[in-house]
Every structure is written in structure tokens, then in C-alpha cells.
Amino acid sequence: MASEITYAEVKFKNASPAAVVEVPPETKKHEHHPQKYSPWLPWLISLLLLLVCIALIIALLGRGWTCCPKGWKRFQGSCYYLSDDTMPWADSVQNCTGMGSHLVVINTKAEQVFLTEEVRHSALGFNHYIGLSAPVVGQWQWADRTPYNETAAFWRSGEPTNVTVEKCVVIHKMSNIRNWNDIRCEHHYRICEAAAVTV
């Protein structure tokens, strides 16, 4: 004999409804932006900066700094001081010596051009002593005993006059590059020269 299967729905009292699992809404995926530069670029820039710094250090240590005292002007390997007061020749010589220098000795045309421009732009007087004098009339000598070279002289037209009372030499402000003038050894401005210091 065949049996019948009967299905029944059973409900329990005080039973909780089926648990509902809440699923969070799907999070929005972040958009991926490609980088505008390669990831190694900052390292490359750092390396280049390091190499530049090393090159500068090598250049500076190998060559050194060339400097002059405050208030002095540097040109090539020398420092120049244009005074702001006047004195006679002998006092000018001593003043420069007291500063570890000497009245300027002009050796080249480039140096003469540089000094001419410095004197021309100075707000002070017209005459600046250089280190050239004639203890004996017509026998010019430099203060540091550098031999006097007639071909490297920059006398004004008609100079030197080679007279007994004019034994000292100045650069005259209102002249072109040929501006040396022999003059009385009275109160004038001065130009001192010293070797530039390399540190």
C-alpha cells in the first residue's frame, strides 16, 4: 500500500522574522590617474644637484676665493684703495705702507684703463698719486723698485715737464687714458695697491 506524503507549514509563536543581512552599498572605485612624471625623476634631480654641489666645491677649493679688504677695489690679482683724504707724497707713501700696501705701480694698459675709470668715477679731487717719482730730475722710478719702462708710460700730452719742483706723479681725473702728470709733491689723493688675498 502506498503512503501519501503530506506537507504542512509550521509557524512558531514568538519566533523572530528571518534575519535580514544588510550589504553595504558598493563602494565607488577610485579612478586611477597616470603619474605625470616617472617615479625616478625626483631621484635624478637630487643626483644632479649633488653633482653640481660637488663640482662647485672642487672648483672653489682648487682655485680659492680672491678677496680684498673692505673699501678696496679688486682688479685681476690686486686690490686698490682710492683715498678720501689728501696728504703730501712722503705721507702718502707711509700711509699705504701702514696698510700693508704701496702707492700703485702700473704695469699694463689694462690696469691703467681700470684706474682711469675708477678715478673718473670718484667724487673726489682731480689728482691721485701713483707710485712713480723722480728723486733726480728725469730719472723716474716706481715705489716698489719695478724698473720704469718708457714704452708702458701714460703721460699726458706735454708731460713730464721734468722740472726740479715736480718730482711726483699723479693720475689726472679729467684726462683720457694718457693722464699721468708730474706735479709738486704737495697734498693730493692717493691710490694704494696690495696683492689680493686668496683663501
Measured CA to CA, the distance from residue 25 to residue 120 in angstroms comes to 86
Task: Give 3-state DSSP helix, strand, coil % of the chain, rounded to 5.
Answer: 25, 25, 50
pLDDT of residue 151: 87
Rg of the chain (C-alpha set) = 44
Q: Out of 5-14, 125-134, 140-149, which region has the weakest mean confidence (pLDDT)?
A: 5-14
pLDDT of residue 21: 52
Quick one: pLDDT band at residue 199, thresholds 50, 70, 90?
Answer: confident
pTM for this entry? 0.68
Residues 6+ apart with CB under 8 A from 109: 152, 177
102, three cell numbers: 704701496
pLDDT of residue 11: 62
36 pLDDT higher than 70 = no
Quick one: pLDDT band at residue 14, thresholds 50, 70, 90?
Answer: low
More confident residue, 21 or 146: 146
pLDDT of residue 49: 75
185 pLDDT higher than 70 = yes
Q: Which of 113, 74, 80, 22 is nearest to 198 (CA)?
A: 74
Tens digit of each residue's pLDDT (9 = 90 or more) over 98-140: 999 999 999 999 999 999 999 998 888 889 999 999 999 999 9
pLDDT of residue 28: 53
Quick one: pLDDT band at residue 42, thresholds 50, 70, 90?
Answer: confident
Tens digit of each residue's pLDDT (9 = 90 or more) over 151-180: 889 999 999 999 999 999 999 998 899 999
**Furthest-apart CA atoms within the chain: distance in Å:** 165
What DSSP designation does 155 have?
B
What amino acid is encoded at 175 in this protein?
S
Structural domain spans, the chain: 66-198
For 66-198, CATH number out of 3.40.50.720, 1.20.950.20, 3.10.100.10, 1.10.8.420 equals 3.10.100.10
Tens digit of each residue's pLDDT (9 = 90 or more) over 70-108: 999 999 999 999 999 999 999 999 999 999 999 999 999
Exposure b/e, 89-124, CB count within 10 A at least 16 = b: beebbebbeeeebbbbbbeeeebbebbbebbeebee
| Mean pLDDT to the nearest integer, 189-194 | 97
